């Protein structure tokens, strides 16, 4: 029920309810198979649809109420379907806690540089954990002695306040070319960094609803302005940082290689050269290494869709995010974290099992989830998984 980023649903041996997770109106129709589910359980798209908006601080009470109503609607629909359908496997995803932490982290975390001191939003994150706990508790009570797994797929923390401009590292070593220095006519929006600052200040004060996201979706130029410098000469650039988001900075990401300029025979050599460069970057104040991890995507992933990953995957140390700017300093202040001060962290704080003997003596990953579920159902997988079941035999 309400699996993340799946829309529309598809025919299954059972029941499936999905919602859109893109720029759309709150009343965008839900997807349900069979279609009679929505009427049977009185499911409201207005309450259940996820919002893709940027809120100003004056609209935070509105955001809180919308998230509270969505959480209650998710719990209500889950309870009805749990009792009303014949199932072997039941899944429900509660969505609001993620957005709440994105927007309210700086009001909760006293170590955040923008923490305002005692404030009326300080308990919002904790209150939503309490609400989620209540919803989960009602589901667990209805399940009785049925094996149950409760988990979060990622953690949360401070969005990086400092930036390492990886593109500038690549430019200084000849892997990325600047349009400005290639003698080309410079786009009037060349200094996109200043425009980002102005947009951030505007959104903080007034909010934009989903306008900014609509612009990025319908007009790719807006996303290029926000996510990647327009000053890059793409015809002479061998490597560049991926744009994970049109607005926000993350401590993790990747570097793409331009296969039109880097032949297959030279690919591994270029990757190793860039990895060596990344390993030498140090914090100018502490001299500690900034790149926590960097490696080839093949060292982490495999499968038919590996080309969707950048050739180089990297993670920076706590406090640093990936920047895209060129023709400037290597290190910068990550002002974009003002829009959403909370950020995803790879370590998840929640994995709880009921009526299930779990082996917690080894590190667990999301890759272990699918084989664990199949083991609980007594189903032998048709193919090998990268993970393994954490259920004790």
β-sheet bridge partners, residue 352: 150
* DSSP classification of residue 8: S
Per-residue pLDDT tens digits for 59-80? 899 999 999 999 999 999 999 9
What CA–CA distances, in Å, run from 320 to 98, 109, 250, 317, 340? 21, 17, 8, 6, 15
Average pLDDT over residues 339-357: 85
Cβ neighbours for 172, distance < 8 A, ≥ 6 positions apart: none
Q: Give the whole-angstrom CA distance, residue 332 versus residue 387.
A: 38
CB-count burial class (<10 Å; 0-12, 13-18, 19+) for 250:
middle
Work out the pLDDT band at 47, boundaries 50, 70, 90: confident
Phi, psi of 178 (to 5 degrees): -90, 135
For residue 56, what pLDDT is reported? Answer: 77
Percent of the chain scoring above 70 in pLDDT: 83
Give me the residue label for tokens 């308990």.
Answer: 123
Helix H or strand E encompassing 253: strand 252-257
Q: How many CB atoms lie within 10 A of CB 178?
A: 20
Q: Which two tokens stand for residue 276?
A: 């060596």
pLDDT at 252 over 60: yes
**Helix ranges (DSSP H) in the chain:** 37-40, 45-48, 60-84, 96-108, 124-143, 166-172, 192-206, 211-218, 220-227, 264-280, 369-377
Per-residue pLDDT tens digits for 281-292? 999 999 999 999
pLDDT at 248 over 80: no
For residue 222, what pLDDT is reported? Answer: 47
Q: Extract long-range pairs of 343-347: CB within 8 Å, 24+ residues apart.
A: 343/102, 343/105, 343/156, 343/157, 343/158, 343/159, 343/160, 343/248, 343/250, 343/251, 344/154, 344/155, 344/156, 344/250, 345/154, 345/155, 345/156, 345/157, 346/154, 346/155, 346/252, 346/315, 347/155
For residue 174, what pLDDT is reported? Answer: 97
For residue 373, what pLDDT is reported? Answer: 93
pLDDT at 112 over 60: yes
Question: b/e per residue, 220-231, with b = 16+ CB within 10 A?
Answer: eebbbbbbbbeb
């Amino acid at each position: 029920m309400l699996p993340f980023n799946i829309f529309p649903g598809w025919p299954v041996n059972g029941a499936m309810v999905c919602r859109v997770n893109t720029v759309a109106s709150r009343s965008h129709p839900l997807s349900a198979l069979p279609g009679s589910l929505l009427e049977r359980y009185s499911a409201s798209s207005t309450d259940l649809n996820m919002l893709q908006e940027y809120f100003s601080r004056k609209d935070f009470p509105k955001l809180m109420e919308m998230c509270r109503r969505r959480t209650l609607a998710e719990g209500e629909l889950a309870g009805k379907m749990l009792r009303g359908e014949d199932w072997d496997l039941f899944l429900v995803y509660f969505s609001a806690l993620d957005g709440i932490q994105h927007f309210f982290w700086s009001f909760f975390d006293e170590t955040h540089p923008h923490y305002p001191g005692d404030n009326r939003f300080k308990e919002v994150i904790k209150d939503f954990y309490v609400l989620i706990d209540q919803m989960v508790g009602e589901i667990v009570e209805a399940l009785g002695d049925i094996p149950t797994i409760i988990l979060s797929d990622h953690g949360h923390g401070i969005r990086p306040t400092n930036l390492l401009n990886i593109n500038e590292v690549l430019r200084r070593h000849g892997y990325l070319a600047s349009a400005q220095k290639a003698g080309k006519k410079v786009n009037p929006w060349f200094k996109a960094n200043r425009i980002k600052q102005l947009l951030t200040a505007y959104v903080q004060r007034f909010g934009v609803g989903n306008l900014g996201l609509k612009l990025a979706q319908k007009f790719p130029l807006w996303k290029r302005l926000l996510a990647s410098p327009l000053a890059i000469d793409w015809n002479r650039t061998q490597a560049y940082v991926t744009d994970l988001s049109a607005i926000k900075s993350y401590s993790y990401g990747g570097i793409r290689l331009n296969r039109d300029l880097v032949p297959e025979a030279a690919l591994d050599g270029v990757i190793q050269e860039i990895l060596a460069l990344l390993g030498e970057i140090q914090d100018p104040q502490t001299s500690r290494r900034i790149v926590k991890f960097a490696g080839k995507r093949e060292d982490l992933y495999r499968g038919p869709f590996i080309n969707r990953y950048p050739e180089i995957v990297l993670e920076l140390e706590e406090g640093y995010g990936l920047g895209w700017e060129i023709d400037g300093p290597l290190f910068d202040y990550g002002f974009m974290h003002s829009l959403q001060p909370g950020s995803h962290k790879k370590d998840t704080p929640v994995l709880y099992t009921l009526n299930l003997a779990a082996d917690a003596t080894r590190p667990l990953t999301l890759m272990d989830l699918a084989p664990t579920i199949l083991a609980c159902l007594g189903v032998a997988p048709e193919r090998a998984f990268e993970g393994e079941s954490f259920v004790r035999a």
